[in-house]
Structure 1
Amino acid sequence: MSPCSTALSPQPVSPSPDAFRDLAQRGNVVPVYAQLAADFETPLSAYMKISGNGEAFLFESAEITGDNGRYSILGSNPRATIKANGQEITYSDRAETRTWTAERDVLAELERLMDKYQPVTHGNAPPFYGGAVGYLAYDSVRQFEPTIKKPAKDELGLPDALFVIADTLLIFDHRLHRLIVVANAFVDEFESPETAYTDATQRIEALIDQLDEPLHIPPLNGLAEFDTPEAASNTTQEEYEAMVLKAKEYIAAGDAFQIVPSQRFEVDFSGSSVDLYRALRHVNPSPYMFIMELD
């Protein structure tokens, strides 16, 4: 194992207290941020340092020149989660958990929950500095296209959709080689703009302190020193061949022009999800990669 730590010296926090007071009159969510040099820290090392605080995510980009793709975004310990199983919606935050049956699809419910936030942008804040992060499972298509039949049984027991509301983030700007530490101030939740600003700056300082801690990184080649487990498919060879023949019939009849038959493979894995992500990005790097540990 090798320790990795950095001495981080941020630039002054933006906006200033006076500017924040003015911005707080225009909305109820104001991003407060500090910028640091990102020459010794990487998105993955930063993720490994902060991901112990509840749910966490990393959207990693290898782009440098694009306007949006130049950023890698990560966060942990979100302020709330929204989970959907069919029409059943569960909302959890740091104060409560409640469940209800929705009359609309999950995205409409998410939009309704997000309506209370009125963000105010300023200065050089990145394009995304907080909000809903998560996934829609394939099966959630039934909420938007009711004619698609529901499977006979739920084989995985995973939510149809799961989103977290991220309020404190690390954003790597690969073009400028900068790390932006963002803490969104929720003005309505505090007695005054001053206390909201103080809370945001304290969260920034706490996150920088986490980044300054040494990180003990296990060697990557040690991850491959195990017997390759046998993969199990959810579809037999005969079932898969039948799907292909059926797909060809639909295409020949003009009902579809492209169909992608699929099957799921499963293997037992005793390592951590971060170790698996490290191995995948090493053997099969991509311009865009992600890991979400949400539940």
Structure 2
Amino acid sequence: MATFPTKDDFKTSYKAGKAQVLWTAMVADLETSVSAYLKLAEAENYSSLLESVEGGAIRGRYTFIGLKPDIIWRCEGDRPEINRRTLGGVREEDFEKIDKPSLESLRDLFSESLIELPEAMPPSAAGLIGYMGYDMVRLMEKLPDAKEDIMGTPDSMFMRPTIMVVFDSITDLITIVTPVRPSDDISSDLAYLRAEERLNDIISALSQPLSKSAQSMDETASFEEPVSNTSKEKFAAMVARAQDYIAAGDIFQV
């Protein structure tokens, strides 16, 4: 299976200190993004499956699977921290505090992670994947104190995958992408070899059948009967208050 760019072109960019991607493509056949995700992410603690949607209802062209991050960034309010030692397994003790505001540190990481993609490459095939929770708005506007956090999840978290698997629903192709960032300690030949190995590992994993544990995920789970944490009257009052905010121009989505 062909790998791009060529080794010579890769070496030229690598020696110039330019971040780049190595990639290959294969026909999807009967593989779906969900079946691929179940195969590839079963043993992963940090992974992502992003379905693109157009207009809020129509399924878009691309689906992205992100795997094996080399960086994880997260924050609680204005207390950001980062873990740059995630490839051997994510450990809490490896997260280091960042002496900057959360949004500033996230902008820095975005800048650090930029990679110029080839024209034929699907968009968003490299970079950061993550989320910003609603409470992140408190870093942009003065709002009352947040309510108690009962979920214990970070306000925002982003990871930088070393593998992206992109499904194209129009061409029926799977593009497997791995970013390569130059290092003084690693030669271009070794960097190319390691990147090829990452791509081949994904190809090999996709060729395998679903494991029994992954297949069992299709079984219907049973849950307790849901119980509302808000009375009908309180909910109606909240809606009325939101309508007042909308009419005043203070909010447009709630």
| Length-normalised TM-score, structure 2 | 0.83
Structure 2 residue ranges without an equivalent (≥5):
87-93
1:6 is matched with none
1:243 is matched with 238
Cα offset for 1:70?
1.3
Alignment check: 8 A CA contact 2:51 2:64 kept: yes
Alignment check: 8 A CA contact 2:115 2:126 kept: no
Distance 1:244 1:169, change over 3 A: closer
Distance 1:128 1:239, change over 3 A: same
Cα offset for 1:123?
5.7
**Mapping of residues 69-108 of structure 1, within 5 Å:** 69-94=60-85, 96-103=94-101, 106-108=102-104
What is the percent sequence identity of the aligned residues? 27
Match of 1:150, SS? coil
Structure 1 residue ranges without an equivalent (≥5):
1-10, 262-295
1:112 is matched with 108
Q: Which amino acid aligns with 1:184?
A: P
**Mapping of residues 129-148 of structure 1, within 5 Å:** 129-145=125-141, 147-148=142-143
Distance 1:187 1:25, change over 3 A: same
Cα offset for 1:53?
2.1
CA distance in 2, matches of 1:62, 1:241: 31
Cα offset for 1:40?
2.0
Distance 1:15 1:258, change over 3 A: closer
| 1:223 matched to 2:225 | no
Match of 1:158, SS? coil
Match of 1:130, SS? coil
Aligned residue-pair number: 239
CA distance in 2, matches of 1:189, 1:77: 22
Cα offset for 1:191?
2.4
CA distance in 1, matches of 2:129, 2:185: 25
1:125 is matched with 121
Alignment check: 8 A CA contact 1:27 1:118 kept: no
| Length-normalised TM-score, structure 1 | 0.72
Give the counterpart of 1:232 among 209, 227, 252: 227
2:28 is matched with 38
1:150 is matched with 145
Alignment check: 8 A CA contact 1:79 1:167 kept: yes
Q: Which amino acid aligns with 1:142?
A: R
CA RMSD of aligned residues (A): 2.6
Q: What whole-Å deviation, never above 9, does each CA across 1:149-200 have from its counterpart, x for those lacking one?
A: 1224223222110111112111111111111111111222642211111110
Give the counterpart of 2:161 among 152, 166, 181: 166
Q: What whole-Å deviation, never above 9, does each CA across 1:29-63 have from its counterpart, x for those lacking one?
A: 21000111111211001100111222010012478
1:210 is matched with 205
Alignment check: 8 A CA contact 2:4 2:23 kept: yes
